[in-house]
Structure 1
Amino acid sequence: MRVLITGGAGFIGSNIAKSLQERYPSSKVYVLDDFSSGHFKNLLGFKGEVITGDIRDAELWDWITKEYEFDVVFHKAAITDTTITDQRLMMEVNAESFRHVLRAVLSWKAKLIYASSAGVYGNVPPPMREEGELKPENIYGFSKLVMDRIATNFMEKYPHIKVVGFRYFNVYGQGEAYKGKSASMIYQIYKKLVLGERPRLFKWGEQKRDFVYIKDVVKANMLALEKDVSGIFNVGTGTARSFNEIVEILSRELSIKTEVEYFDCPYDFYQKYTQADITRIKEYLGYTPDYTLEEGIKDYLKELSSCL
């Protein structure tokens, strides 16, 4: 099996690369990344080939298509900073580049597993359902919605090519540290606590998210690899938890007492409550999360504590 992972030096991509290496030791795994937000340290221990390039580059895709042949493509490359407001840049990187990926997949007759986002839902009433209302609050969410539409049209036109899109909810876990300010609130609060600083939350910390652990995200991707299925699916836990609860869990696990500093949210496009309906992914891929928020944080802290 020959596999290409775009954004393979990033958070989710690098975890998939290492998992494939472990589960399918005879496979050939290649990473494509421009290292604008991915980091080489995420690939320490990875034994495959790394291609450095920008997914917007049509000539790069022409070269890759002629030079290589892949059975599976995990497309995880994207701008993931939801605070970026440059609309053209976001659309070019996230949506327009996706057309290059699809052309390559078609030429190889390869399976495609790509990253969408819960950002497509905006502030519609939870739980969010794949067939429900889609009202993105920012250009990031809109770019992912356009990706889903491009993918849906592609699936209808080329039903023999298997395509799976994952609308990730709030992913956290090993490998996210290099995302900087885009890393999960779990990582951000952890850093504050171990540095002896007060966590800062938007008033009053009661906003809720469906936090999903990276190991469950990798599990979903492996199921998509193994199943003969096409479609767009939510990846979450099906449970929403508040930011105040994150502080409580981390404080308890780290045995650190703290007080939260609350401040006004500066964004007018903020999602206040996300919760995945995971009915479809359970039915079609057999996915159920292995980690509750408490279990995921506890497992994550083993690695974070070893890095101190």
Structure 2
Amino acid sequence: MLFNNPPLSAPVSQERNQQVVAYRGRFAPSPTGPLHFGSLITAVASFCEAKSQGGEWIVRIEDTDIPRIYPGSEEHILKCLDAFEFESDAPIIFQKDRLDIYQAVLEHLHTQGLVYACQCTRKMLGSNHIYQGTCRDLNLPFQDQAIRLKIDDQPICFNDLLQGQHCSNLKQDLGDFVLKRRDGIINYQLAVVVDDYLQGVTHVVRGADLLDNTERQIWLGQCLGYPKLSYMHLPLAMNDRGDKLSKQNHAMALDIAHAPKLLAQALQALGQPPVDLDRPSIMLQQAVQQWQRDLIPKGTSIQGIFQ
């Protein structure tokens, strides 16, 4: 099932080779709405974890789902990065500019017989969330069809640095999953795996709401012959109704006028020692020096009142 040599053209191979370091983390927001306090927690934790390990930290805008891009979100993300004085150790990339790379990987998977076209609609599938492989052996043309990755019947496990051992048998829990939608949109799972590899990411720090995506990404990475990554899934900040802070739940946008105060609150939510109120860059330096992963609250949610 695995590629001996990852499917990369010469220019893309150079991109990968230039990015290889011992530790590289990333912050990869989607511009489907403005950044909120939960986003800030992820940015702070991923930054401090990387820098405390002497590593690099990069920013990527995950915007392949172009119809869902919220107007002004990308500009808000960049303004927030500036206001909180985060500095990416590599140029910020936008996934919507890299669709040809993802398409090339899909074509390579096709030549290896690891993907197939699927004509099933949501209406046809009904309420069953486990795909039964209806189109797997139909040899449908790829034009204007969803593209699914073949899954083997085997457990996939990883040891999350915060959440502990996590396992899933994708065949039984999910079935063959989509890498490219019928409307031509590249699925998150494909873009994130390819870009983590090409950007030399070694450690992924993100919210626990993405925990169940990890086995899919591990499986796809194995199919492509990519190296294993380390994962740390952070507990989610909750609002006063017990719902996670999210764009879907209309979480308030970060107020960049109060960046130092919000930065201090994010560190407090992460269980870290307090820092002196100062310029955000100075506060981040102090936070990195004091960073202790073991102090991050256990579980998948952070109790408290967050805006």
Is TM-score (shorter-chain normalized) higher than 0.5?
no
Between the two structures, name the one with larger relative contact order (CA 8 Å, sep ≥ 6). Answer: 2
Higher helix proportion (structure 1 or 2)? 1
- TM-score band by shorter chain is under 0.3
